[in-house]
Amino acid sequence: MQVTLWRPLRGRGLEGHKFRRQHPIGKYVVDFVCLEKRLVIELDGSQHLEQQAYDADRTKWLESEVYGVLRFWDNEVFAEP
């Protein structure tokens, strides 16, 4: 699923903003990040149903570091990129 979302993001494809893929921030590796805008995009698959507390803690930490976090389910990106 990451490839489906990466295509429009790479090469400054989203309104000229540079995104990085699989980028470390603190002790986490995020799916996508625009460092300039401090925006993280996370894609969640079915395994995330079992780790919602971990994801909530991760999001809370990223937000404490002044990152906005957008989460999408894999099937959402596949159905409507």
Tell me what the mean pLDDT of segment 20-46 comes to.
92
Residue of higher predicted confidence among 14 and 66:
66
Mean of per-residue pLDDT scores for the chain: 85
Residue 64 lies in domain: 2-79
Give CA–CA dist 53/63, Å, rounded.
15
CATH number, domain containing residue 29: 3.40.960.10
Q: What are φ and ψ of residue 25, in 5° steps?
A: -135, 115
List pLDDT tens digits, range 34-60: 999 999 999 887 665 567 888 899 999
Q: Residue 1 — pLDDT band, cuts 50, 70, 90?
A: very low
The pLDDT, as a whole number, for residue 53 is 87
Residue 26 and residue 67 in contact, taking contact as beta carbons nearer than 8 Å: no
Could you tell me where the DSSP H helices lie in the chain? 2-9, 52-64, 74-79
Total of domains in the chain:
1
What's the whole-model pTM score?
Answer: 0.81
